[in-house]
A and B are shown apart, each in its own frame.
Chain A
Amino acid sequence: MSSASATARPAPARLALELARTAIRFPVFAAAGFVLGIALALALPLAFDARPLVVLSGSMEPTLGTGDVTVVQRIAPLDARPGDIVTFRDPVNQDRLVTHRVRDMRVRGDRVAFVTRGDANNVSERWAVSTNGEISRVAYRIPELGRLLVLARTNRLPMLLFGLALAALLALELMTIWRSSESREER
């Protein structure tokens, strides 16, 4: 019913709207890029014999915090050096992985004997692994991300996902309304 000339906004107003849209889009896409980058930082190492692990205790504070995600690279035991932070099977409980710093290592025949200790611990652990065995060395960490992954194991996650889906739906709806008003103006 109403003509385009009657509803069209004046040029400065349109420019302001355009700037506002750009100002909103930039951080939204920056956040998306950041999330994508972090996802790549966790997924890409899988192709190179590395894997992400969640730090569940504070034994390596302040170097590794509880809730950090570490990406560990598989290495031969002889490639480790004192000072490296390595991940190995707990000598007491083989089902558990431990990430501690190497304090000393010695080669005895076909086995490498390690002395490791968490930076925040005052007790070392002694363990040995075959020279052909495998351990992992921490390559990098992503602070606090592990808390999200731990959350995935609790029943708070479905609530969080539901909230995120709702927010995404709302955002989509708003964008649709925005776009339709924009196309009406242009017509």
Chain B
Amino acid sequence: MTSSSQRAARAAGLVTGLALAALLVFAMRVPASGQPLGAGVRVEVQPPGELDAAADPVLLSAPSLVAGEERRGAVTLRNITVGDVRVQVRARARGLGSAVRLELRAGGRKLRRGFLLKKADATKLRARAWIPADAEGYEGRQTRVVLALSTKLVEARP
């Protein structure tokens, strides 16, 4: 009986010590941050002299866009020429992976090639950038899109 109680005391002590060590390690763990790492998306506009735009050329800036999220931005463009102009948009993208999608709209329509801007008229050029919910491999990547605008005077019909 004596030896059994001694054995029990040893075993209980050992188990208690091990449990305390495990508790200490558990309490002192440094959990991974789990903070999402998004993609950086920046869309800039380069307007020509025929168009008046805001001083800030950044149309859209999303420093950390994650899957399933979208960001919108807009810039007002005003025709300062003597006639109507056809505005052409040419996008130069750097680091634009398949994960990041970009949509441009002007005058309420989805933009494909360009749009018509009447004399002294103004319109909002809107951009929407998003990453589909099932996208992968976009984490930490940076995308910069420069929208180079060019204009062509449309001759007035008699």
Contacts and interface: CB of A to CB of B under 8 A. Distances in A.
Contacts of B12: 26, 29
Contacts of A31: 13, 17
A106 B142 contact: yes
B140 A29 contact: no
Interface residues of B, number: 33
B82 interface: no
Interface stretch (A4-12, A79-87, A161-169): A79-87
A25 B32 contact: no
B20 A112 contact: no
Interface stretch (B1-9, B70-78, B111-119, B126-134): B1-9
A36 B24 CA distance: 13
Nearest to A70: B30
B contact face: mostly helix, strand, loop, or mixed? helix
A25 B142 contact: no
Nearest to B15: A33
A36 B17 contact: yes
B13 A112 contact: no
Interface size class of A (residues with CB under 8 A): 35 or more
Contact of B22 (A37, A78, A112): A37
Interface in A89-132: 102, 105-108, 112
B18 interface: yes
Contacts, number: 114
A176 interface: no
A51 interface: no
A81 B5 contact: no
A109 to B, nearest CB: 9
Contacts of A106: 40, 140-142
A137 B121 CA distance: 57
Interface in B1-54: 2, 5-6, 9-22, 24-25, 28-30, 32-37, 40
Given A37-B19, A143-B28, 15 more contacts: A21-B6, A25-B13, A26-B9, A27-B13, A29-B10, A29-B11, A29-B12, A30-B17, A33-B16, A33-B20, A35-B17, A41-B21, A84-B32, A139-B29, A142-B25
Interface of B: 2, 5-6, 9-22, 24-25, 28-30, 32-37, 40, 139-142
Interface of A: 18, 21-22, 25-38, 40-41, 63, 70, 78, 81-85, 102, 105-108, 112, 137-143
